[in-house]
Amino acid sequence: MSPRTYFITGSSRGIGLELVKQLAAKGNIVIASARNPDGAEQLQQLVDNKKVFAVKLDVQSEESVKAAVAKVNEISPDGIDVLINNSGIIAPKGSISTTTDPEVWGEIYQTNVVGVVRVTQQFLPVLRKKDTRQIIQISSDSASLELANRANLNAPYHCSKAGLNMFSRCLSHDLADEKFTCVCIHPGWVITDMGGSNADLTTEVSVSSMLKVFEKYTQKDNGWYGNWKGERMPW
Protein backbone atom coordinates (compact mmCIF):
# COMPACT_ATOMS: atom_id res chain seq x y z
CA MET A 1 0.00 0.00 0.00
CA SER A 2 1.34 3.44 -0.91
CA PRO A 3 2.01 5.86 1.98
CA ARG A 4 -0.93 7.83 3.28
CA THR A 5 -1.44 10.96 5.35
CA TYR A 6 -3.15 10.38 8.69
CA PHE A 7 -4.58 12.78 11.27
CA ILE A 8 -4.99 11.25 14.74
CA THR A 9 -6.62 12.74 17.83
CA GLY A 10 -5.50 11.89 21.35
CA SER A 11 -1.92 11.05 20.37
CA SER A 12 0.03 11.91 23.51
CA ARG A 13 -0.16 8.43 25.05
CA GLY A 14 -1.66 4.95 24.88
CA ILE A 15 -3.26 3.74 21.67
CA GLY A 16 -2.94 7.12 19.96
CA LEU A 17 0.80 7.35 20.58
CA GLU A 18 1.32 3.78 19.38
CA LEU A 19 -0.69 4.51 16.23
CA VAL A 20 1.65 7.41 15.48
CA LYS A 21 4.71 5.24 16.07
CA GLN A 22 3.62 2.29 13.92
CA LEU A 23 2.05 4.28 11.09
CA ALA A 24 5.17 6.41 10.78
CA ALA A 25 7.35 3.29 10.80
CA LYS A 26 5.39 2.09 7.77
CA GLY A 27 6.39 5.23 5.87
CA ASN A 28 3.18 7.21 6.28
CA ILE A 29 2.88 10.89 7.09
CA VAL A 30 1.27 11.24 10.51
CA ILE A 31 -0.16 14.43 11.97
CA ALA A 32 -0.61 13.74 15.65
CA SER A 33 -2.77 15.93 17.86
CA ALA A 34 -3.03 16.43 21.59
CA ARG A 35 -4.23 19.10 23.98
CA ASN A 36 -0.64 19.89 24.98
CA PRO A 37 1.70 18.35 22.39
CA ASP A 38 4.70 20.38 23.59
CA GLY A 39 4.41 18.71 26.99
CA ALA A 40 3.99 15.19 25.57
CA GLU A 41 7.56 13.94 25.88
CA GLN A 42 7.06 10.57 24.19
CA LEU A 43 5.22 12.15 21.28
CA GLN A 44 7.90 14.80 20.84
CA GLN A 45 10.49 12.05 20.52
CA LEU A 46 8.68 10.91 17.36
CA VAL A 47 8.18 14.36 15.83
CA ASP A 48 10.62 15.18 13.02
CA ASN A 49 8.42 17.63 11.05
CA LYS A 50 9.01 15.53 7.95
CA LYS A 51 7.01 12.37 8.52
CA VAL A 52 5.57 13.07 11.98
CA PHE A 53 4.04 16.39 12.97
CA ALA A 54 2.37 17.50 16.20
CA VAL A 55 -0.64 19.80 16.33
CA LYS A 56 -2.44 21.28 19.31
CA LEU A 57 -6.07 20.19 19.55
CA ASP A 58 -8.76 20.32 22.22
CA VAL A 59 -11.78 18.46 20.84
CA GLN A 60 -14.09 20.37 23.19
CA SER A 61 -13.14 23.72 21.65
CA GLU A 62 -14.49 24.85 18.28
CA GLU A 63 -11.74 27.48 18.05
CA SER A 64 -9.05 24.89 18.77
CA VAL A 65 -10.39 22.49 16.14
CA LYS A 66 -10.52 25.23 13.50
CA ALA A 67 -6.95 26.25 14.33
CA ALA A 68 -5.88 22.62 13.98
CA VAL A 69 -7.53 22.39 10.56
CA ALA A 70 -5.64 25.51 9.45
CA LYS A 71 -2.36 24.02 10.68
CA VAL A 72 -3.04 20.71 8.91
CA ASN A 73 -3.74 22.59 5.68
CA GLU A 74 -0.29 24.19 6.03
CA ILE A 75 1.41 20.85 6.69
CA SER A 76 -0.47 18.91 4.03
CA PRO A 77 -2.12 21.26 1.52
CA ASP A 78 -3.15 18.26 -0.59
CA GLY A 79 -5.33 16.98 2.26
CA ILE A 80 -5.37 13.87 4.44
CA ASP A 81 -6.32 10.31 3.57
CA VAL A 82 -7.49 9.07 6.96
CA LEU A 83 -8.97 10.68 10.07
CA ILE A 84 -8.65 8.55 13.20
CA ASN A 85 -10.80 9.80 16.07
CA ASN A 86 -9.02 8.27 19.05
CA SER A 87 -9.65 10.83 21.82
CA GLY A 88 -11.80 9.51 24.61
CA ILE A 89 -12.32 9.65 28.37
CA ILE A 90 -14.08 7.40 30.86
CA ALA A 91 -16.24 8.30 33.85
CA PRO A 92 -15.02 7.54 37.38
CA LYS A 93 -15.44 3.99 38.65
CA GLY A 94 -18.93 3.42 40.00
CA SER A 95 -20.61 5.77 37.52
CA ILE A 96 -23.83 3.80 37.19
CA SER A 97 -27.05 4.81 35.47
CA THR A 98 -29.11 5.48 38.60
CA THR A 99 -26.85 7.83 40.55
CA THR A 100 -24.23 9.46 38.35
CA ASP A 101 -24.56 13.23 38.17
CA PRO A 102 -25.80 14.52 34.79
CA GLU A 103 -22.79 16.87 34.68
CA VAL A 104 -20.52 13.81 34.54
CA TRP A 105 -22.58 12.48 31.63
CA GLY A 106 -22.21 15.83 29.91
CA GLU A 107 -18.43 15.87 30.33
CA ILE A 108 -18.07 12.36 28.89
CA TYR A 109 -20.35 13.15 25.96
CA GLN A 110 -18.55 16.42 25.22
CA THR A 111 -15.36 14.49 24.48
CA ASN A 112 -16.54 11.09 23.27
CA VAL A 113 -19.43 12.21 21.07
CA VAL A 114 -19.67 15.98 20.58
CA GLY A 115 -15.89 16.31 20.27
CA VAL A 116 -15.80 13.62 17.59
CA VAL A 117 -18.66 15.30 15.73
CA ARG A 118 -16.84 18.65 15.89
CA VAL A 119 -13.54 17.26 14.63
CA THR A 120 -15.13 15.17 11.89
CA GLN A 121 -17.26 17.99 10.52
CA GLN A 122 -14.36 20.44 10.46
CA PHE A 123 -12.01 17.96 8.78
CA LEU A 124 -14.40 16.86 6.03
CA PRO A 125 -13.07 19.50 3.56
CA VAL A 126 -9.53 18.28 4.24
CA LEU A 127 -10.55 14.66 3.61
CA ARG A 128 -12.39 15.61 0.42
CA LYS A 129 -9.11 16.72 -1.16
CA LYS A 130 -8.08 13.05 -1.38
CA ASP A 131 -9.79 10.01 -2.86
CA THR A 132 -9.14 7.69 0.12
CA ARG A 133 -11.67 9.41 2.41
CA GLN A 134 -11.56 7.14 5.45
CA ILE A 135 -12.93 8.06 8.89
CA ILE A 136 -12.04 5.58 11.63
CA GLN A 137 -13.59 5.81 15.09
CA ILE A 138 -11.68 4.07 17.88
CA SER A 139 -14.74 2.64 19.57
CA SER A 140 -15.20 -0.14 22.13
CA ASP A 141 -17.14 -3.29 22.84
CA SER A 142 -18.81 -1.02 25.40
CA ALA A 143 -20.75 0.48 22.49
CA SER A 144 -22.60 -2.76 21.82
CA LEU A 145 -26.16 -2.85 23.16
CA GLU A 146 -26.22 -6.62 22.77
CA LEU A 147 -23.12 -7.10 24.89
CA ALA A 148 -24.29 -4.74 27.66
CA ASN A 149 -25.89 -7.57 29.60
CA ARG A 150 -24.93 -6.93 33.22
CA ALA A 151 -25.49 -4.38 35.98
CA ASN A 152 -23.06 -1.72 37.22
CA LEU A 153 -21.68 -0.75 33.84
CA ASN A 154 -19.83 2.55 33.51
CA ALA A 155 -23.05 4.00 32.14
CA PRO A 156 -21.85 7.39 30.79
CA TYR A 157 -18.94 5.76 28.97
CA HIS A 158 -20.99 2.92 27.50
CA CYS A 159 -23.73 5.29 26.35
CA SER A 160 -21.21 7.70 24.83
CA LYS A 161 -19.57 4.91 22.84
CA ALA A 162 -22.97 3.75 21.62
CA GLY A 163 -23.59 7.35 20.54
CA LEU A 164 -20.22 7.42 18.78
CA ASN A 165 -21.16 4.28 16.86
CA MET A 166 -24.49 5.74 15.82
CA PHE A 167 -22.77 8.92 14.65
CA SER A 168 -20.45 6.80 12.51
CA ARG A 169 -23.41 4.87 11.12
CA CYS A 170 -25.14 8.14 10.21
CA LEU A 171 -21.93 9.38 8.57
CA SER A 172 -21.69 6.18 6.55
CA HIS A 173 -25.06 6.94 4.96
CA ASP A 174 -24.67 10.71 4.65
CA LEU A 175 -21.26 10.45 2.96
CA ALA A 176 -21.80 7.29 0.91
CA ASP A 177 -22.38 9.21 -2.33
CA GLU A 178 -18.98 10.87 -1.84
CA LYS A 179 -17.32 7.45 -1.55
CA PHE A 180 -16.28 7.79 2.09
CA THR A 181 -15.52 4.78 4.27
CA CYS A 182 -16.73 5.34 7.84
CA VAL A 183 -16.04 2.57 10.36
CA CYS A 184 -15.85 1.84 14.09
CA ILE A 185 -13.25 -0.49 15.57
CA HIS A 186 -12.90 -2.00 19.04
CA PRO A 187 -9.16 -2.11 19.86
CA GLY A 188 -9.56 -4.84 22.48
CA TRP A 189 -9.01 -4.51 26.21
CA VAL A 190 -5.69 -2.67 26.12
CA ILE A 191 -3.16 -1.90 28.84
CA THR A 192 -3.43 1.89 29.03
CA ASP A 193 -4.29 4.48 31.66
CA MET A 194 -7.94 3.89 30.76
CA GLY A 195 -7.80 0.13 30.27
CA GLY A 196 -5.79 -0.56 33.39
CA SER A 197 -2.86 -2.87 34.08
CA ASN A 198 -4.94 -6.06 34.06
CA ALA A 199 -6.03 -5.69 30.44
CA ASP A 200 -5.40 -8.40 27.85
CA LEU A 201 -3.43 -6.59 25.14
CA THR A 202 -0.41 -4.34 24.96
CA THR A 203 -0.73 -1.21 22.84
CA GLU A 204 1.83 -2.69 20.45
CA VAL A 205 -0.23 -5.83 19.78
CA SER A 206 -3.56 -3.97 19.60
CA VAL A 207 -2.29 -1.36 17.16
CA SER A 208 -0.36 -3.76 14.94
CA SER A 209 -3.50 -5.89 14.68
CA MET A 210 -5.72 -2.90 13.94
CA LEU A 211 -3.39 -1.68 11.21
CA LYS A 212 -3.77 -5.00 9.43
CA VAL A 213 -7.53 -4.42 9.51
CA PHE A 214 -7.18 -0.78 8.38
CA GLU A 215 -5.15 -1.85 5.35
CA LYS A 216 -8.04 -3.99 4.14
CA TYR A 217 -10.73 -1.30 4.39
CA THR A 218 -12.48 -0.41 1.15
CA GLN A 219 -15.68 1.48 0.49
CA LYS A 220 -17.50 -1.86 0.79
CA ASP A 221 -16.76 -1.66 4.53
CA ASN A 222 -18.57 1.67 4.91
CA GLY A 223 -20.73 1.45 8.05
CA TRP A 224 -18.71 -1.43 9.54
CA TYR A 225 -18.30 -2.10 13.28
CA GLY A 226 -15.81 -4.72 14.35
CA ASN A 227 -12.74 -5.50 16.43
CA TRP A 228 -8.96 -5.51 16.15
CA LYS A 229 -9.10 -9.01 14.69
CA GLY A 230 -11.28 -7.88 11.80
CA GLU A 231 -14.36 -9.64 13.18
CA ARG A 232 -17.75 -7.96 12.96
CA MET A 233 -19.35 -7.06 16.28
CA PRO A 234 -23.02 -6.89 17.31
CA TRP A 235 -24.46 -3.40 17.45
**179 belongs to the catalytic site:** no
Catalytic residue among 50, 66, 93, 161: 161
Q: Which residues contact 194 (CB under 8 A, 6 or more apart)?
A: 14, 88, 89, 90
Distance in angstroms (rounded) separating the CA atoms of residues 46 and 205: 19
Residue 109 a catalytic site member: no
| CA atoms of 56 and 65, how far apart (whole Å) | 9
> Out of 6, 157, 217, 225, which one is annotated catalytic?
157
CB < 8 Å & 24+ apart, contacts of 22-26 = 22/204, 22/207, 22/208, 22/211, 23/211, 24/51, 24/52, 26/211
Are the beta carbons of 46 and 24 closer than 8 angstroms?
yes
Residue 74 has φ and ψ, to the nearest 5°, of: -70, -45
CA distances from 34 to 8, 44, 59, 137, 218 (A): 9, 11, 9, 16, 28
Residue 179 CA to residue 181 CA, distance in Å, equals 7
Residues catalogued as catalytic: 157, 161
